[in-house]
Structure 1
Amino acid sequence: MHAETVLLLVLAAVAVIVAARWLAARTGLPSAALLTVAGLVYALLPGPNLSLDPEIVLAVLLPPLLYSAALDSSLIAIRANTRTVVGLSVLLVVVTALVVGAGFALWVPGATLAAGIALGAAVAPPDPVAALAVGRRVGLPPRLVTLIQGEGLLNDATALTLLSVAVSAAVGDGYSTGGALGQFALSAAGGVAAGLAVAHGIRPLRRLRRDPLSSNAVSLATPFVAYLLAESVHVSGVLAVVVAGLVIGHNAPYWTSGATRLQTDAVWRLVDFLLEGVVFLLIGQQLPAVIGGLGAYPPGTVVVAAVVTVGSVLLVRPLWLWLTEHAPQALHVRLSGAPGADDDDDPSTPPRQLSGREITVLSWAGTRGVITLAAVFTIPAVTDAGDPFPARDLLLFCAFLTVLVTLVGQGATFAPLVRRLGLRADAADAARLRNQARMAAVEAGLDRLDELQAEQHDHVDDAAIESVRAALRTRLDRYRRRLEVLGDAEGAVPLSPQYEAALRVRRAVIDAERAELLRWRDLGRLPDDGLRVLERELDHQEHLLPARPL
């Protein structure tokens, strides 16, 4: 493919990604589903197409996406929901793979149990990108966001390890059950160890990471270092990336500067936006590859295989959630107090049992993505004996169909389902908690001012202390008034006309200041480098203004 063709494809992909985001914002449809459909449409048109290389997906695209998601997750919240997260990301993956494998062995001619389990391992792990994007937009409760995040971070390692075990059994590569269990345990433990090693290995770079540009370089390289380190010793690279991201994301606030965090967050948002867009476009473009080999199978076999795969994926998940949540009481850690008490905002409290509405939402959040296709494309074409891999083309088609059904079907209906069930986070309660934390932080600052004044350092001026103290007390009074407005509100955050008016006035003042600086630049009175410095000051002030009085 010529360089000009590649450049045109890249520019076209960026244009489609931006257009999908614009359309998603106006229609409420998830951009992941829109991009997948766009990829499907492009695959049917004449011209060059991109094939999915599983090695590139697993080694180049997946590490930064997983690492960014891990940085954005809460280690404390995931730890508080360990039982449910482990059940979803490990046990449910295994159960789904076994059910699909048994279905193929029983009802699909020419397929073996090992081949069916390989397919099941590929289709078992949900990709939570689409569900989380919609869930955050409609205000999904924090605990459900944590469960979807935690499952999506950890289930890929389980699926890929199980897939390699099933493929080894299918191609006759010295498979044994005991060896498979040992391989699984070693891969998981080694992945965790590699992730911890990388997370602690960057600690000596603290001073370097206080420089925003150096910090970005280190942050972008970290997921690839974790992945390559783990893969070099034949353990789970995916798990290493996730563990490194969770630990670094938890500890980074202690030693990164504010400027570093602002820039690094912006860089990762852009990386996520572009990589996720490319991934979903790539999914749709695999249509020719997955239907090309179906001519060798009778239509009835194709239909049965599709029903077994998609049916297992859609039915096993809600059944598993219901069974695990209604297991004997001895297997659960329950909240003391009234049933149904909401602990979503207190990760230190043992989680309560999921309600029926929450189980329904979690069941419908199981959208599959590129990891499913990348995994199934790693299945070899021939066995060690030189025979064709059992029903490989059929496995590719079933995996692709599962991605389409869940990503487009479930993804497009996820938001209406959440709204219909009325399952929303208590925004007013979250706003109260944030304002209480703001007040605690300001009071800590006032206490520190008292300590500085008492220590009577020569370089500390009393006038400076009083100036800062007055500003802090002004903020404290503002936060107290916000709490009074919030009061005993439940659900939506009550609007404060005075506060919203103040925000409009402040934005109008910043716009006027920015316009005046531009006028000075255009008149030649202010050089461009000076303009950029002053613009950054105004940009930071504007960034601090909330969209709503939360």
Structure 2
Amino acid sequence: MIETLALVLGGLVVVMATHALANRTGLPSSVLLVLAGIAYGYLPLPGANLALDPHVVLYLLIPPLLYAAALQSSLLELRKNARTVVGLSVFLVAVTALAVGVGLSAVVTAIPLAVAIAIGAAVAPPDPVAALSIGRRAGLPPRLITIVEGEGLLNDATALTILQVAVAASVSHTFSLGGATGEFLFVAAGGLAVGAVMALIVAQLRRWTTDTLIDNALSLGTPFATFLIAEQLHVSGVLAVVVAGLWLSHRNPYLQSGGARLQNRAVWRFVEFLLEGYVFVLIGQQLPAVVRGLSEYSPGTVVVAAAVTVGVVLLVRPLWLLVSAHLPARMHARLGGDPKPGNPSLSGRELLALSWAGTRGVITLAAAFSLPADTPARDLLLFCAYVVVMMTLIGQGLTFAPLLRRLRLPGTSAARALVRNQARTAALRAALVRLDDLVENDPDLGRAAMPLRRAAELRLERYEERVTLLSELEDDELPVDNDYRRGLRLRREMITAEREELLSWRESGQLPDADLRILERELDHQESILPPGEPGH
């Protein structure tokens, strides 16, 4: 027990230190965490490593990570890009699994085709965590963020279903394309149904409670309950969690109070930070165990098997994107990139960015480790999966941001800032109309409404100035607004002065701690709504 506690605390120290280093250096935290995990795994300490248990990963780590990602995604944007997302998360995963399987079984005769397809399914689904954490910072356009998010949310269900079918075929030595397709459709439809039902249940429970603590406890329990029920019904737990998260994210503005939403976002941001950190460290820690299992294979066999697996994974994705982008109109509409108004086909630069966003992660290792112990060449297959994760996570992770900067993709900062300020302007005008209606119906509210109207009109004037400025830009570079930045700096200094004065009151005994916390929370909320300081925010 003491060793386990020390290991957990050691991992926490690694996660915090690595995150701080990433903030200072600009290097991807996911890459630094994996490298730290590798170094940690080779430390000469008793019990220094945690073995990757696929059941722990699939039941305890994947549901909350998928749910948190779904809460941040947009159901409407996913629907707009549905064909592209489905093409990547279903068809590309299947093609990758088959290509890796055929390639591995051809070069290593000891690996049966069904087993090779199983490991192909394990390495097929990209994990978007690393790619998105880098892409958002480097300015990945919103549409590409939506596509990568959608692909990462849905591809795990496809990969795990193919893996189960392939393992069953390797055990029974029989395979039926019709039976496999039917099983996939049943598992997917069942996952969709369970996710929708769970979302409706949680939505109803939220209507009955106004307690933010109960609301957040319900939110934390939702992904686990959804995944458990789906798995008990032998349908896709992954897909059920994603569907529940997407629907609740879309409906939460109607279901949750402002306080519940603020607390909910903070809770899930913290959960994501810890779980993602431990997951990447866990990936790095598996290297010693994976390498130890290679003693019975010749170096040539190991190198060839790993090279084929990595090569196929790296080649199939850009080829799929390139071919699907140039298909005839009818097939193109079916497999991705429906070129309708407001949603044009992906450009060559966007296709290149998507090609490089295929980093693999913990779901690949969990799937590979779930192969039965008597699987032929299991240790070699685990090594191939591990090399794919390392090559994509470290290689693509380190080069993704420089690639995006060189591509200079359009439609990022200025366009989003313009939409935000247009929405703010519309919202403030609606608020002023509501204020006028209230005063007209009850003249006694007039005096209280005057300062509110002045404050709203000042904000409206500021937003309209930004809309005009952003509308006249000829490129995507945000303009520098020094007055705006000075105003933010002054407001923060004023809040700091208020906080210091309150603390001096507490230290002199004039203000009890309980009252200090109330006033401090008011200042914290004022500070939290201040924008981060971009000139076109």
> Could you say which TM-score interval applies, normalised by the shorter chain?
over 0.9
Amino acid at match of 2:318: P
**What's the CA shift string for 1:439-493, capped at 9, x where partnerless?**
1111111121232234338xx6222233332322222112122224434123122
Partner of 2:115: 115
**What's the CA shift string for 1:290-316, capped at 9, x where partnerless?**
122212222221111111100010000
Partner of 2:80: 80
Partner of 1:417: 403
Question: How many equivalent residue pairs?
Answer: 529
**What's the CA shift string for 1:410-443, capped at 9, x where partnerless?**
1111111111222254312211111110111111
SS in 2 for 1:202: helix
SS in 2 for 1:296: coil
Q: What is the alpha-carbon root mean square deviation over aligned residues? A: 1.8
Percent sequence identity is 58
Contact kept, 8 Å, 2:100 with 2:116, in 1: the verdict is: yes
**What's the CA shift string for 1:481-535, capped at 9, x where partnerless?**
2224434123122121222111111111111110000000000100001111001
Partner of 1:467: 451
Contact kept, 8 Å, 2:139 with 2:404, in 1: the verdict is: no
Amino acid at match of 1:431: A
After superposition, the Cα gap between the structure-2 partners of 1:193 and 1:404, relative to the gap in structure 1 and judged at 3 Å, is same
Partner of 1:547: 532
SS in 2 for 1:526: coil
Shift of 1:173: 6.9
- The match for 2:500 among 494, 515, 521 is 515
Contact kept, 8 Å, 1:97 with 1:120, in 2: the verdict is: yes
Shift of 1:279: 0.4
- The match for 2:379 among 382, 390, 393 is 393
**What's the CA shift string for 1:336-386, capped at 9, x where partnerless?**
xxxx9xx9xxxx95521111111111111100000000001111012xxxx
User: Which stretch of structure 1 is more off in the superposition, 153-162 or 493-502?
Assistant: 493-502
**What's the CA shift string for 1:128-149, capped at 9, x where partnerless?**
1011000000111111101110
- The match for 2:347 among 355, 360, 365 is 355
Amino acid at match of 1:284: G
Structure-1-length-normalised TM-score: 0.93
Contact kept, 8 Å, 1:115 with 1:166, in 2: the verdict is: yes
> Quick one: distance in 2 between partners of 1:429 and 1:233?
45
> Quick one: distance in 2 between partners of 1:133 and 1:275?
14
After superposition, the Cα gap between the structure-2 partners of 1:321 and 1:451, relative to the gap in structure 1 and judged at 3 Å, is same
Which runs of 5 or more structure 2 residues have no equivalent in the other structure? none
Shift of 1:19: 1.1
User: Which stretch of structure 1 is more off in the superposition, 157-166 or 437-446?
Assistant: 437-446
**What's the CA shift string for 1:256-311, capped at 9, x where partnerless?**
11111111100101000000000001111111221222122222211111111000
Shift of 1:214: 1.1
Q: How do residues 133-282 of structure 1 correspond to structure 2 at under 5 angstroms?
A: 133-172=133-172, 175-282=175-282
> Quick one: distance in 2 between partners of 1:453 and 1:461?
5
> Quick one: distance in 2 between partners of 1:200 and 1:124?
32
> Quick one: distance in 2 between partners of 1:365 and 1:439?
35
Amino acid at match of 2:419: L
Contact kept, 8 Å, 1:139 with 1:425, in 2: the verdict is: no
Q: In the alignment, is residue 329 of structure 1 matched against residue 329 of structure 2?
A: yes
Shift of 1:333: 5.6
> Quick one: distance in 2 between partners of 1:27 and 1:359?
28
Amino acid at match of 1:6: T
> Quick one: distance in 2 between partners of 1:249 and 1:69?
10
> Quick one: distance in 2 between partners of 1:131 and 1:24?
15
> Quick one: distance in 1 between partners of 2:204 and 2:150?
28
> Quick one: distance in 1 between partners of 2:189 and 2:110?
36
> Quick one: distance in 1 between partners of 2:101 and 2:264?
43
Q: In the alignment, is residue 494 of structure 1 matched against residue 456 of structure 2?
A: no
Contact kept, 8 Å, 2:353 with 2:403, in 1: the verdict is: yes
Partner of 2:16: 18
> Quick one: distance in 2 between partners of 1:422 and 1:472?
37
Contact kept, 8 Å, 1:117 with 1:163, in 2: the verdict is: yes
> Quick one: distance in 2 between partners of 1:106 and 1:461?
81
SS in 1 for 2:111: coil
Which runs of 5 or more structure 1 residues have no equivalent in the other structure? 335-339, 383-388
User: Which stretch of structure 1 is more off in the superposition, 286-295 or 163-172?
Assistant: 286-295
Partner of 2:465: 481
After superposition, the Cα gap between the structure-2 partners of 1:328 and 1:253, relative to the gap in structure 1 and judged at 3 Å, is same
Q: In the alignment, is residue 290 of structure 1 matched against residue 274 of structure 2?
A: no
Shift of 1:58: 0.1
Structure 1 residue runs of 4 or more that deviate by more than 6 Å after TM superposition: none
Contact kept, 8 Å, 2:361 with 2:393, in 1: the verdict is: yes
Structure-2-length-normalised TM-score: 0.95
Contact kept, 8 Å, 2:203 with 2:255, in 1: the verdict is: no
Partner of 2:368: 376
Amino acid at match of 1:476: L
Contact kept, 8 Å, 1:139 with 1:424, in 2: the verdict is: no
Shift of 1:208: 4.8
Amino acid at match of 1:402: V
